[in-house]
Chain A
């Protein structure tokens, strides 16, 4: 009864609002158009694939941290987790699992290394979540602390050295690690497939599972979520766990692409990831945001970075431009929220 007259409200309603909602998408096309005009061969498949491969690393992190940010939290430790997980993978392949009393080293196959590293990443995230929920530590402080701890641990693993030559040794049966980063499937790099699969899985969780609803509800009003029977602490621990798992996957892909792991890999990557999430329309205040938005946000940041490099813009100007884009995006975000609220009030007035 009340629902029928809704359509015309929407139709007569703001074209501006729709444009605002699509803004990240529009920005993506503007950037693509700009670079295709100014850089020769920018849209050639080969260069596009290389760009998307670069984007995928940031996308892994950004997708993982989106849930965290929707619950009004933050995770600064994902860059360090990426580095640490890469180091663990490197260590297991180059040194094996050393059991000192027996004087032997077991070299696990890649099929073991990858799941183990992913579990370690998830575990790091779970610890973050546990500290945040159990001891009521602000997420910013908690993950700032764990960021230093994890980065330090990565350095300790190798004494600051690089683990190189991670192709594995056929005699030890641990080859194939490099295929993750350089391999192709149906004409596209595996990393790109992984990115889309991960985006699909996380979007499914967000849209179709009760867990996703709970994440949004917690970011919107934590007290109400608690009273509605949502297990707020459990959900939060899982949210950080997911961020950790995604960081571990990113760590594996980076290490495999380089066929080497360095303990400083991933430093400040968390900032790029947060930027992508925010560009994608997720509110740091919680409750608002989409997975598609995050993916597009990662594309905007990645293409902007690579495009500017190809144009020959200096690295210093790149930084300035990136910062300006982020701030403009957030200002537009505020405008959209206001307009959306006004439009909702307007359509309500038509009913009452």
Chain B
């Protein structure tokens, strides 16, 4: 497959990026083609974001060189990237909700001199022109807070356009958009490429890439994997290139046996305050000793489904836990006592008690199990803590150490230990391997298998195809709040899962 090099506007040559302990990028050479949509794809940790951060000036590479239109350039920061015509729209929007569209567009580069007031008329005119370029009829003095998510995304793009970009990097721009908003965004992208802007497009949604992309680059484990014209390839090829041909590690033994159904979900619906359906008529079951993985992209509704099970979300439908119904208005503590254990997705935000000791972190959910009269039975608590630290091989100098001093993997083990001490029948793990290193990932998987062999039903979620294939007995796929597949692992493959993860729209 040969692609002519004449249209290359930006070439990143032989880029290496070394972080303490890991090599995020390993001699990667990457090309951006002029006036085209350049798709870049890879699994989590493949190095996409690091590469984009280098191009947009957020980080400097350990080794390597950038060439813009054939000339060497040194990009020292986001400002210098902007001067070279490179702009980036991050996945999380960086808008000030309390300011107007025009004020946001000109934030940090207000049209004003000395102590004269800001030239709002001029700003508004330019803002209006820019929005017109995006075919949007958004008033420049509209508050950003009043805009829909899709419109905010476009305001972000407008912000880059005002700075005269040649290369616009879009990091997962569609993860929060509705189908219709995605179409609007695609039209905008097509217009922009016709105006000569080169787009770098990062996304996990393969079907989308096939629709919008012209060139595709695949990274794997920090290395350049392959490059192709999108018209020459198909989804199966992408999955193959992305995951590699080496067999997936299997943590499960051949003879797995399951017990009774412990968790039954029927017709779960969740609609948020903005009347967006987050979980859409989801039904499934989980048996004792079974590991069920939920695969889905960001925003597919996995976390929301977990929140229905253990959080405060007011869902409709019915959960049955070990033949007992779970009501909407049951408190979290009642659900924990019934036998649900949760390991939340964002460990820092909702998992650990950072300045509390490892011991207190472990025993917090199960204090009701260790009462002597009204007081905590310290002997039994100490025993439980020591036993859990041993069993989960948590590496800690003393149970009294503050948990924030531990590594991510060990913190995660503590959070899992906390859920286990409540002796759950069903353990929910939301993205259990997020932000922990490969060794600790293996530990967590082995722990999951061990627990399932003790008869605990395990439901976990991930957006990593390799992980889901490594450790699930059965795989559910969620997309746009809907359940789009319920497959035994032996009877499926990665392409099928990717396909199902785009079906919910």
Measured CB to CB, the residues of A under 8 A from B are 1-3, 5-6, 9, 204, 208-210, 213, 216-217, 220-221, 223-231, 287-288, 340-341, 344-345, 347-348, 350-352
Contacts and interface: CB of A to CB of B under 8 A. Distances in A.
Contact of A229 (B332, B351, B352, B406): B332
B376 A216 contact: no
B402 A341 contact: yes
Contacts of B389: 2-3
Task: Please list the 4 inter-chain residue pairs (A to B) with the smallest Cβ-Cβ separation, ordered nearest first.
Answer: A229-B333, A344-B405, A220-B353, A229-B336
Interface string B373-403: 0111000000000100110001111110110
A66 to B, nearest CB: 16
A213 B360 contact: yes
Interface of B: 310-312, 331-333, 335-337, 342, 344, 349-356, 360, 363-365, 367-368, 371, 374-376, 386, 389-390, 394-399, 401-402, 404-407, 418, 422
Give the secondary structure class of A's interface: helix
Contact of B398 (A1, A231, A347): A347
Pick from A9, A208, A231, A344 the residue with the most CB of B within 10 Å.
A344
Contacts of A213: 360, 363-364, 367, 376
Contacts of B397: 2-3, 5-6, 9, 347-348, 350-351
25 contacts: A2-B395, A2-B397, A3-B389, A209-B375, A216-B356, A216-B360, A217-B353, A220-B353, A224-B349, A224-B353, A226-B332, A227-B350, A228-B336, A229-B336, A229-B422, A230-B333, A287-B353, A287-B356, A345-B405, A347-B397, A347-B398, A347-B401, A347-B405, A348-B407, A351-B395
A197 B371 CA distance: 24
Nearest to B350: A223
Contacts, number: 116
A209 B381 CA distance: 12
B404 A217 contact: no
Contacts of B351: 224, 227
Contact of A1 (B312, B336, B374, B390): B390
A225 B331 CA distance: 13
A8 B48 CA distance: 45
A277 to B, nearest CB: 17
Contact of A220 (B354, B394, B396, B418): B354
Contact of A231 (B333, B355, B356, B386): B333
A217 B395 contact: no
Contacts of A351: 395-397
A3 B422 CA distance: 24
Contacts of B406: 348
A217 B354 CA distance: 9
Given A224-B351, A227-B311, 18 more contacts: A2-B395, A2-B397, A209-B374, A209-B376, A216-B353, A217-B360, A220-B354, A224-B350, A227-B350, A228-B332, A228-B418, A229-B331, A229-B333, A229-B337, A230-B364, A287-B354, A287-B355, A348-B406
B6 to A, nearest CB: 52
A228 B364 contact: yes
Pick from B355, B371, B389, B401 the residue with the most CB of A within 10 Å.
B355
A347 B374 CA distance: 34
A221 B353 contact: yes
B344 A227 contact: yes
Nearest to B407: A352
Contacts of B364: 213, 217, 225, 228, 230
B399 A3 contact: yes
A348 to B, nearest CB: 5
A226 B333 CA distance: 9
Contacts of B376: 208-210, 213
A345 B356 CA distance: 14
Contacts of B363: 213
Contact of B350 (A216, A221, A347): A221
